């Protein structure tokens, strides 16, 4: 029975990805900071792309095609139940259809065991994607995981802010956003954050707080770009200035 359900989810995920590809083709997307991605591709630097959980859809579509490993898990405190389970399975299947390799830490007996295995994979030269506020929030608050993983493996952190003007917001802890067709959207990619291998606990805590501040600033910039030009900016353009 579980295999049948798994097969149905796999096929449904394929349909969902196809639908999102159509929507994605209609989005008016603004990208800032692509030079940081170009530098990574040029130097082959291994990175851990860091996103906010509910704003992860745009970055996932943007970075598809790169050999990135997506870290995923779920709360182990009993709060993860009901509709959340099939939705999570659908999400992981969709990521695989997009070409990502998915690492599901929830399949390990404990979160630390899963993290250790993920670190081993990063050390073998594969980049990754992680939600800084996952798996259970609070939303837009960075947990220490990204900095810890970068310290242990030597990968750099690449923070990404995302926003869309017209969207559907799911009733979930992360307020996950799905774009409406033809909306304006923006990705703002930040500078690489290097994490020293000898950083101590207090230093890692400060760096994690800095990463949170940086990501929220990138998100604010993305929101401003997705909203479009203000009325005063429109009035300054030549077609309006001489109307």
Task: Kindly report the CATH number assigned to the domain that includes residue 143.
Answer: 3.40.1130
Q: Is residue 238 part of a domain?
A: no
Q: Is residue 131 part of a domain?
A: yes
What pLDDT sits at residue 4?
Answer: 80
Question: Could you tell me the CA-to-CA distances from 208 to 31, 92, 117, 132, 133 in Å, in that order?
Answer: 25, 26, 22, 9, 11
Q: How far apart are CA 7 and CA 168, in angstroms?
A: 27
Q: Is residue 237 part of a domain?
A: no
Q: Note down the domain range covering 142.
A: 2-229
Model pLDDT for residues 164-202, shown as the tens digit of each residue = 999 999 888 889 999 999 999 999 999 999 999 999 999
Residues of the chain under the 70 pLDDT cut: 1, 75-84, 230-243
Q: Is residue 242 part of a domain?
A: no
Q: Is residue 190 part of a domain?
A: yes
Q: Is residue 71 part of a domain?
A: yes
What pLDDT sits at residue 149?
Answer: 93
Residues in Cβ contact with 119 at an 8 Å cutoff, skipping those fewer than 6 apart: 149, 152, 153
Q: What is the pTM of this model?
A: 0.86
Q: Is residue 241 part of a domain?
A: no
The count of domains in the chain is: 1
Residue 90, SS3 per DSSP: helix
Q: How far apart are CA 209 and CA 236, in angstroms?
A: 39
């Amino acid at each position: 029975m579980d295999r049948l359900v798994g097969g149905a989810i796999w096929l449904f995920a394929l349909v969902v990805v196809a639908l999102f590809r159509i929507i994605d083709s209609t989005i008016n997307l603004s990208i800032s900071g692509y030079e940081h991605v170009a530098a990574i591709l040029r130097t082959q630097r291994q990175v851990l792309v860091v996103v906010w959980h509910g704003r992860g859809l745009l970055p996932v579509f943007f970075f598809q095609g790169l050999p990135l490993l997506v870290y995923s898990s779920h709360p182990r405190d009993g709060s993860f139940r009901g509709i959340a389970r099939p939705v999570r399975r659908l999400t992981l299947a969709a990521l695989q259809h997009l070409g990502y390799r998915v690492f599901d830490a929830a399949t390990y007996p404990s979160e630390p065991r899963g993290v250790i295995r993920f670190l081993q994979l990063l050390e073998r030269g594969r980049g990754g994607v992680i939600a800084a506020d996952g798996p259970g929030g609070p939303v837009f608050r960075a947990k220490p995981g990204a900095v810890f993983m970068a310290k242990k493996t030597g990968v750099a952190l690449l923070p990404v802010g995302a926003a869309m003007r017209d969207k559907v917001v799911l009733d979930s802890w992360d307020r996950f956003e799905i774009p409406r067709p033809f909306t304006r959207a923006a990705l703002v990619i930040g500078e690489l954050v290097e994490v020293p291998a000898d950083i101590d606990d207090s230093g890692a805590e400060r760096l994690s707080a800095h990463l949170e501040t940086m990501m929220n600033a990138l998100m604010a910039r993305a929101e401003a770009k997705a909203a479009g030009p203000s009325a005063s900016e429109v009035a300054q353009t030549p077609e309006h200035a001489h109307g």
